[in-house]
Structure 1
C-alpha cells in the first residue's frame, strides 16, 4: 500500500494502522471504512505495488468469461476469484485475501502475468449484470428443486383441501351438539388438543423469570464478518431513518456489510438510497424480476453477495439496539452453542400511542417476544421466527437452502426448517423498534399475509408428519402444531366455538340435554377458558415487562381484537386458495408517535462524523 500511503496525512495513516492492528484487519479495509480512500483507489494502488494489472470489469468490454452455472457463480463470489476463458485469473481481494495474494505472488513471481486485481464491489456489479437471470432462478427455485417437500411452491391440491376442511369443521361445530357419532368428535378433539397445548405452553412461559440481557462481545479482533440484508419495496419514506439507524450500530465498519435490496421498478426507493446511503459499507442490490415478488426471494437474491459469516435481516422501519450485533456474536460464540443456527432479537412496537390497533399490536408483541419465545429458546424448541432481527450463521442458511420464496411468512417457515436440519434457535433480550399499522385496512392486509403464511408452513411441514417428527423430533413437531396450528385454528374457529358453546348451553331445552351433551359443552368451555387465560396472562405479563400502560383496557378489548383476527384468518384462507404467493405490502413511515424515538439521535453515528474522526486522529497521532 505504499502508493496510497504517500498521499495520506501522517496522522490519518498512523490512526488507520493502529486501528487495523486492533481489529485484525488490513490497512486498506480501515482506510475504506473511515472514508479516506475509495475501493478503486485502494485496488489500483495495491495492483501497482504487486506489479499486476487493475481490471475494471466493465461488463460491456470484459467478455473473456466461460459459461457458468448459478452455483459456480455463487462459488466465484464467495472465493473472490474469477477464471477467464484464456486462463487468466481476476482476484477481488482486500484485507486478508490481498495479503494471501501478495504472498502467493512473492512465492511464484511468474503468476504476475496471469493475475489481475479488481474490487469486491466491481466483481459484484459485474456478476449481477452478467449472471443476474441465473442468480434470479437460483434465488427462486433452489429450495423447490432441492427439497420440494419443504417448499410452499409444491402446495397444489392440499391448499384446496385445507380450505374445504376448515369450512366443514366450522359447519360441524355449528350443526353438531351432542352426538354418539364418533366421526363428529375426532376433528373437534384434535382442535381441542392443539388449543390446550398452546395454552399450556403460554402458561408455562409465564412461570419463567425474565431473561437477562446477554453480554456483548467486546474483543473487536475476534468479531466475525457480518452482513446485514434489508429488503425494501416502496420504502422511500423511511430510507433516511433506516440509514441512520444502521449507521448507528456499534460494530467495526471494516467487518460490516449492509446490503439494501430493491425491486427493479422501485425508482423512488432507488433515488432515496442514492441520496442517503452513499456511505462506506452500504451496497444496493436489485432483485431480479424472476418468480414471485416476495421478501424471501429478495433475501435469496442478496445472499450470494453477502461476504459475512453471520447474516442479519432487518426491515425497512427497524431501529435496532446499537449493541445488538455484539450481543448476537456473544451468544453464538458461547460454549455449547455451536449448533445454534439463528439468534432472534425481540421486536418492540414503538408507536403504541398511535391508536387502539397499535396498542393492541404492542401488547401482542410483548406477550410473544418477551414471554413465549424466550421460553422456547431456553428449552431449545423450534420457534416461528419474527420477520426481522434474525441473525443466522451463514453455514446454517446454506444448509437449509436459504428462504422459501413461495412462503409469505418466510420467517416462521425458516425456523421450522432449521429445526429439521438440526440447528437450534435462541432468543436474546436485545430489542428492535418496529412500527405497527395504525389503520384497520393496513392491519388487515398484514395479518392476512401472516395467517396465509402460517397455513402454508403448516401444510408444508405436516403433510409428511412422520418424516417431520423423525427429522425434528416429536416435541418439536408438537410445538409447531401448538403454536402455528392452534393459532390458526383459534383464529378461524373462535367465533364458531363461542357460538357453538352458547347454542349448546342456552338454546337447547333443558329437558333434552343429555349427559354426553353437557359433558362436551363443559369440555369445550374449559378449552376456551384455558386458551383465553393463556393468551391474556402472557400478554399482560409481557406488557408489564415492557412497561406498556393500559393493561386493563387492553385486556377488556381483547375479544374485539380476536374477532378481527378471525376475519383476517378467513380472508387468508381465501387468499391461500386463489393467490398463495401474493405479497400484500405493509406501508411504513406513517407513525405519528414514538415511545423511544422521540428526539432519538444515533449518537454512535457521531463516531464516524468528520469532526469527531479528525479529533481521534489528532489524539492518536499525538499519543
Structure 2
C-alpha cells in the first residue's frame, strides 16, 4: 500500500477503528493503522469508489479476504460457489448469464440469492440489510472473482457459443460466417471471381482498357480523398480528463497467442498507464493450447486488477472470438483493446474518456488512438510500413473523424463505449479484419468514431513472408467486409449517409483495386518484355 506514515499526525483518532471504515471494509480495520485508514478513506472519496476497492488495488487484502470480512460484518453467509449441486445456478439463457455477471446477482437452486458486490454497490447492499434485517436469511455474499470463475466453469459451452456464433445466429446478414450460405453472398462472390478472372486474363486491348478505366476511377476517388485529408489542419491534442472521480470503470482486453516473449514488456506498458488502479481491469485472453504464454503469465496471477481468461475451444480460433469470450467478464463501461506488443502513451485512457464526456460525446461509440511503428531501423519493409501508418492514422483517420464520416478501425488501441459495442453485436469471429467490419457496423448503427492524437507504438513485420501473410489477411478481410455490407446497400446508406458509404467503398475497395492494378501492370510488363 502507498506509504502513509507522514499522514499519521493528521489522521483522526477513534476508539473503535472499525467504525472509521464503511461496511464494505470494516472488517479490515484491525489490520490498518490510523494513518492508513485516513488515507484509504480519502482516496476512496477522491475516486468515488469503495474503500475495499482501494485496499484490493493496493494489495493490502485479497478479494476473498474482503468478501469474507464483509459477510461477517453484515451478518450474512459467505458463499464460496464451489462445485456441488447446492451452489448450482438454475438453467440460464445466454442473455441471463451475461446479466448475472453484469449485476453480480445469482439465484441458487434453493431459491436463495447470492450477491457478488464490491465497492459502492456493496455499501448500498449493506444499507438495504439495515433497513430490512430479514433479508439476511435469504441472501449470501461472494466475491465477483468467484462468481466469474463459476460461470467459466459451469457454462463453458454457452460461453463458447456466445463468443463464436452469437452474431452469426442473431444477425446472419452482418456476419461473414454466412457469406457462403446466402444468395446475395453467393452472387457477390461469383461477381468477384469473374472480376478476378478478367484481371488475370485481360490480354485483349479492349479488356485491358475497360479494366484500366474502372480501376482508374476508383483510384482517382481514393486520391481525391487523400488530398482532402491532407488539407485538414493538424489535429489539436485532446486534453486528458484529470478529475479522477469523473473517470469511468475501464476494462482492457488483450488477446494473446504465442506471445510469451513479450509478456514482461506488455505488463510494464499496461502498468505505466496513468489511470486509477481501482477503476481499471485488465483481461488477458489466451488459447487453451498456449502453454508457453500461460506459463509466462503464471507468476503474475495474483497481480491486482489483472485476470487471465482461457478462450473456449469452440468455433474459429481467431482474435475476435477471443475478445468476445472476455467481454461478458468485463466490468468497465469503456472497453479498450490492445495487442501484445503495444506500448500506449500513459495518458491515452484519460484522453479517450475526455472525448466520451465532452459535449456531443454521447453519440461517440468508439475512440481510435493513433498507431505508429517503433522498429523503423529494422529494414526497408518496416520503414514503408511506418510511412503507410503515418498517412492513415495521422492524416486520413483524423479527417474522417473530424467530419463525422465512418472509418474502418485499426486493429488495436480502440476504446469502445460498451453500450455501442454490445449494441452492434461486438466482433465477428468469421471476419479476419474484424476491426474494419466493426467500424462499419458502428457507423451504420448511427455511432460516431473519434480519433485522438495519443499514440500507441507497435512493431511492423520485418520480413517479406510475414508482411505477405498480413497483407493477404487484410485483403481477404476487406473483401469480406465489402461483401457483408453490400448485401443491404440501402440500409448502409441510411446509416452512414451517401458520402459515408462512398468513403467506405473507396477505403476498402481502393486497397483491393490497387493490388489488382499492380497485378495487371506486372502482367503487361511481363508481356512487353516477352
Specify if TM > 0.5: yes
Contact 1:310 / 1:392 at 8 angstroms: preserved in 2?
Answer: yes
Aligned 1:41-190 pairs, distance under 5 A: 41-60=65-84, 62-156=86-180, 157-158=186-187, 160-171=189-200, 173-177=202-206, 185=210, 189-190=213-214
Q: CA deviation at 1:464?
A: 2.5
* 1:356 has 2:380 as partner: yes
Q: Tell me, yes or no, if the aligned pair for 1:66 and 1:84 is still in contact at 8 Å.
A: yes
CA offsets, 1:67-101, max 9 Å, x none?
Answer: 11121100100110001121101111000110111
In the alignment, the residues of structure 2 paired with residue 41 and residue 208 of structure 1 have an alpha-carbon distance, to the nearest angstrom, of 55
Provide closer, same or farther for how the CA distance between residues 62 and 8 of structure 1 changes in structure 2, counting only shifts above 3 A: farther
The answer to whether the 8 Å contact 2:86/2:110 transfers is no
| Residues 280-319 of structure 1 mapped to structure 2, 5 A cutoff | 280-319=304-343
- What is the CA–CA distance in structure 1 between the aligned matches of 2:188 and 2:291, rounded to whole Å? 36
Contact 1:226/1:308 (<8 A) preserved: yes
Task: Report what 1:272 is aligned to.
Answer: 296
Q: Per the alignment, in what secondary structure is the counterpart of residue 198 of structure 1?
A: helix
1:474 equivalent to 2:498? Answer: yes
How far 1:162 moved relative to its partner?
4.9
Which whole-Å CA distance do the structure 2 matches of 1:207 and 1:232 have between them?
39
Residue by residue over 1:317-346, the C-alpha shift from the partner in whole angstroms, topping out at 9 and shown as x without a partner, is 001001000000001101012111000000
Partner of 2:514: 490
Separation (CA, whole Å) in 2 of partners of 1:287 and 1:70: 17
- The whole-number CA distance in structure 1 between the counterparts of 2:526 and 2:307 is 58
Secondary structure of 1:473 counterpart: helix
* Structure 1 segment 407-422 matched on structure 2, within 5 A: 407-422=431-446
Q: CA–CA distance in 1 between the matches of 2:86 and 2:441?
A: 41
Q: How does 1:340-419 map to 2 (within 5 A)?
A: 340-419=364-443
Instruction: Tell me the alpha carbon deviations over residues 285-329 of structure 1, each in whole angstroms, 9 at most, x when there is no partner.
Output: 110001000000001100000010000000000010010000000
Query: Whole-Å Cα distance in 1 between the matches of residues 27 and 425 of structure 2?
Result: 43
Deviations 1:502-526 (A, max 9, x none): 98xx99xxxxxxxxxxxxxxxxxxx
Question: Looking at both structures, which has the greater relative contact order when contacts are Cα pairs under 8 Å and sequence separation is at least 6?
Answer: 1
Report the CA distance between 1:9 and its aligned residue: 2.8
* Deviation of the 1:426 alpha carbon: 0.7
CA distance in 2, matches of 1:424, 1:174: 44
8 Å CA contact 2:324, 2:426 repeated in 1: yes
Give how far 1:11 is off. 2.5
2:479 corresponds to 1:455: yes
In the alignment, structure 2 segments of 5+ residues that lack a partner are 1-24, 181-185
Query: Structure 1 pair 367/327, CA: closer, same or farther in 2 (3 Å)?
Result: same
Structure 1 residues 484 and 289: CA distance shift in structure 2, 3 A: same
TM (normalized to structure 2)? 0.91
Determine the C-alpha separation between the residues in 1 that align with 2:266 and 2:526: 50
1:178 is displaced (CA, Å) by 8.2
Report the Cα distance in structure 2 between the residues aligned to 1:206 and 1:475, rounded to whole angstroms: 18
What SS is found at the alignment partner of 1:229? strand
Change (3 A) 1:382 1:13: same
Deviation of the 1:446 alpha carbon: 1.4
Rounded to whole Å, the distance in 1 between the matches of 2:286 and 2:301 is: 13
* Matched-pair contact (CA < 8 Å) for 1:259–1:302: yes
Task: Kindly indicate whether residue 353 of structure 2 is the aligned counterpart of residue 329 of structure 1.
Answer: yes
Structure 1 spans left out of the alignment, 5+ residues = 508-623
Answer yes or no: is the 8 Å Cα contact 1:143–1:151 preserved in 2.
yes
Relative to structure 1, is the Cα distance of residues 161 and 471 closer, same or farther in structure 2, using a 3 angstrom cutoff? same
Contact 1:59 1:129 in 2 (8 A): no
Q: Provide the residue aligned with 1:584 in structure 2.
A: none
TM-score of the pair, normalised by structure 1 = 0.78
Partner Cα distance (1:102, 1:150) in 2 = 45
Kept in 2, the 8 Å contact 1:343–1:428? The answer is yes
Residue number in structure 2 paired with 1:247: 271
